Structure 1
Amino acid sequence: MPFAGIQVSKAYSAEAKAKILAGAQKILSEQFGKPVGYCMASLSSMDMAFGGREGDCAFIDVRVLGPTNATKNTAIVTAFSALLGETLSVPKERVYATFGSYASGFWGHGDYTF
C-alpha cells in the first residue's frame, strides 16, 4: 500500500536502479510496518533544476493509506536521502519529498478500494 515515486536528475545503471527500487520498498516496509510485498516504488530520470542550477537533485512523492506523522516522515526522507546519496551521489540538501496520507475508500487495488 505505501508508494514512493522517485524522480532523479541523473541517469542510472541497471544495478543502481535495482538498488534504489529495492531500497525504497525496504524503507516503506520498515517505516509503515507493511510487508515488502505490499510496497511499491517507481524511479525515473528527467531533466530537473533546483536552486538556480540543473542536475544533482531528486524529488520523492510518498503516499500511504492511513495516517503518517512528522517524525515518521523525517525518518523516511532521511533514509531516502541516504539511499540516493550512496547510490547516485545526490547531496541530501538537494532531495525533497512530499507525503500524502489517504483515507479508506481513496486507495484502490485491482477491482476494489481499501
Structure 2
Amino acid sequence: MPYLKLSTTASLSDEQSPQLLDQLSKLMAQQTGKPERYVMVQIEGGKAMLFAGNNQPLAYAECKSIGLTTAQAKAISSSLSRLLNDALQIPADRVYIEFSNCPAEYWGWNGSTFG
C-alpha cells in the first residue's frame, strides 16, 4: 500500500532504473514498516520540469500510504533526499515531496479495499 511516484529531470540509464526502483522500494518498506510485497514504486526520468526558475537537476515525489505518520514523512523526506543526491546528484533543496495518508477504506487492492 505504500506508493512512491518519482518524476525527475535526470535521465536514467537502462541500468540505473532497476537499481533505483529497488532502492526506493526497500526505502519505502523500511520507513513505513510495511512489507515490501505491498510497496509500489514508479519512476519517470528525463521529464521537462522547472523549479525556482531553472531546470537544474530536480525531482518531485508523491508518497502515499495507509497510516502514514508525520514522523515517517520526515524520515522518508530525509532518506529519499539523500538517496536522490547519491544516485542522481539532485540536491535536497531541489526536491519536493507530497505526502498523503490515505484511509484504508479508500485504498483498493485485490478486488476490495484495506478497510
> Shorter-normalised TM-score: what interval?
over 0.9
By how many angstroms is 1:55 displaced?
3.2
Q: Distance in 1 between matches of 2:12 and 2:68?
A: 33
Aligned residues: percent identity? 29
Q: Which runs of 5+ in 2 are unaligned?
A: none
Deviation per residue, 1:35-92 (Å, 9 max, x gap): 11111100002111001101300001000012411x2211101111111111111111
Q: Which runs of 5+ in 1 are unaligned?
A: none
Q: TM (normalized to structure 2)? A: 0.92
Q: TM (normalized to structure 1)? A: 0.93
Higher strand content, 1 or 2: 1
Q: Distance in 2 between matches of 1:104 and 1:62?
A: 15
By how many angstroms is 1:23 displaced?
1.1
Contact 1:20 1:84 in 2 (8 A): no
Q: Distance in 2 between matches of 1:77 and 1:16?
A: 21
SS of equivalent residue, structure 1 residue 50 = coil
- RMSD across aligned positions (CA): 1.1
By how many angstroms is 1:2 displaced?
0.4
Count of residue correspondences: 113
